[in-house]
Amino acid sequence: MKVRRWTRTSKLFTGGTGMVALLLASVPLAFSPDIVQKTTTLLILVLLAAMWNALAGYGGLLSVGQQAFIGLGAYGTVFFAGFGMPPYIAMVVALVVTGSLSIPISLFALRLRAAQFAIGMWVIAEVASISVRLDQDLGAGTGISLSQLYQYDPNYRQAYTFWLALAFTAVFLAALFFLLRSPLGASLQAIRDDEDAARSLGVRVAARKRLLFVLAGFGCAAAGVLIVANTLFIEPGSVFSVQWSAYMIFMVLVGGLGTFEGPILGAILLFAIQTTFTQGGPWYLVGLGATAALFALLLPRGLWGTIEERLGLRLLPVGYQVVDKK
């Protein structure tokens, strides 16, 4: 018997992923702004799914309030750009500042368990949303646009935003990837499998969960920054909407909770569904909700988790495999 991390497939695929990132970087050079904007949306979905999975899949923290960070990141960008900062600098500042809010929030939120944490986060998102609505300078309930971005030629603007989205997504996914592969990652996966058992083996569960919570806070704030950069206009009703949580839950549950590759697959699926049913509408959401519920009940490891189990396939290895050596 021996323990392995890399297989030939996973080596090829991980290398391939690096190549895909490089190829993606050339998208704005080769395609129309419309396609660039759509691809930016896909990257935002991938980022959101990966961050929600970091929380729920590895930390066992089910949040229906991550839209708090999405909204704060988006409004933070408008806020700092309003001070005369160049808009792309304002985005980075907004990410750092609003992402950091996850640290004080974690002190309180991580004491809550299961439903209390889920709905507690939702209430925090509601409080953030109401606070924005009460602020006339941020457009109150009617919304506000990131007018500072209009100074750029639309083609360049779309390209810059795309590269920023690619950079954020790559950085956060890589951070999660290397975090999960580090010795710390082994303890995270132990928490995922059985929190009590992990604790009894000396895993500092609370500290590990805080790490994931803060990572997800920053990641969702980054997604918020990208959303305002991509759409140029935000309103509290949509950017703080619980619909974001619905999307994240759908992507992660269908793709595979607690797997690294699954949420990416889920994001691609959601993106494909959204592009096919452009009208959106209630039937599409009925399907989304029902699918998420069915996956939670019948296929809790999602598509990727099931594929992994059946085929023993690892594409982006974050764990180890035990193989029988004949």
Partner 1 sequence: MSVANAILQGIFLGAFYAVLACGLSLMFGVMRIINLAHGDVAVLGAYVVLVIVQSTGLSPLVAFVIALPAMIAFGYVLQLTVLQRALKAGILTPLLATFGLSIVIQNLLLLRFSPDVHSLGASAGALTTESWNVFGSITISALGLVVLAVALVVFAALHLFLSRTRPGWRMRATAEDPDAAELIGIDSRHVYARATAIAVAIAGLGGLFLAIRSVFDPVSGPTQLIFAFEAVVIGGMGSLWGTLLGGLALGVAQTLGAQLNPEYAALSGHLLFLAVLILRFGGVNLARFGARA
* Residue with Cβ nearer partner 1 (170 or 292): 292
Q: Interface residues with partner 1 (CB under 8 A)?
A: 56, 60, 62, 64, 108, 111-112, 114-116, 118-120, 122-124, 126-127, 130-131, 133-134, 242, 245-246, 249, 253, 282-283, 285-286, 288-294, 296-297, 300
Q: How far is the CB of 3 from partner 1 (least distance, A)?
A: 28
d(C-alpha 155, C-alpha 163), whole Å: 12
d(C-alpha 128, C-alpha 192), whole Å: 30
d(C-alpha 269, C-alpha 216), whole Å: 21
* Residue with Cβ nearer partner 1 (85 or 242): 242
| Nearest-10 crossing angle of helices 154-181, 183-193 | 80
d(C-alpha 183, C-alpha 244), whole Å: 32
* Residue with Cβ nearer partner 1 (126 or 233): 126
DSSP state of 58: I
What values do phi and psi take at 135, rounded to 5? Answer: -100, 110
Q: How far is the CB of 64 from partner 1 (least distance, A)?
A: 7
Angle at 148 between CA 226 and CA 89, to 5 degrees: 55
Q: Which helix (H) or strand (E) holds 157?
A: helix 154-181
- Give the bridge partners for 2, in sequence order: 323
* Residue with Cβ nearer partner 1 (43 or 124): 124
Q: How far is the CB of 158 from partner 1 (least distance, A)?
A: 31
CB atoms within 10 A of CB 286: 10
Closest CA relative to residue 109, chosen from 64, 72, 73, 71: 64
Q: How far is the CB of 33 from partner 1 (least distance, A)?
A: 32
d(C-alpha 212, C-alpha 219), whole Å: 10
* Residue with Cβ nearer partner 1 (164 or 254): 254
Indicate the SS3 state at residue 282.
helix
* Residue with Cβ nearer partner 1 (38 or 199): 199
Tokens of 229: 């950069």
The number of CA neighbours under 13 Å toward the Cβ of 293 is 6
* Residue with Cβ nearer partner 1 (146 or 248): 248
* Residue with Cβ nearer partner 1 (56 or 229): 56
Q: Check: CB of residue 121 under 8 Å from CB of residue 68.
A: yes
Q: Check: CB of residue 139 under 8 Å from CB of residue 235.
A: yes
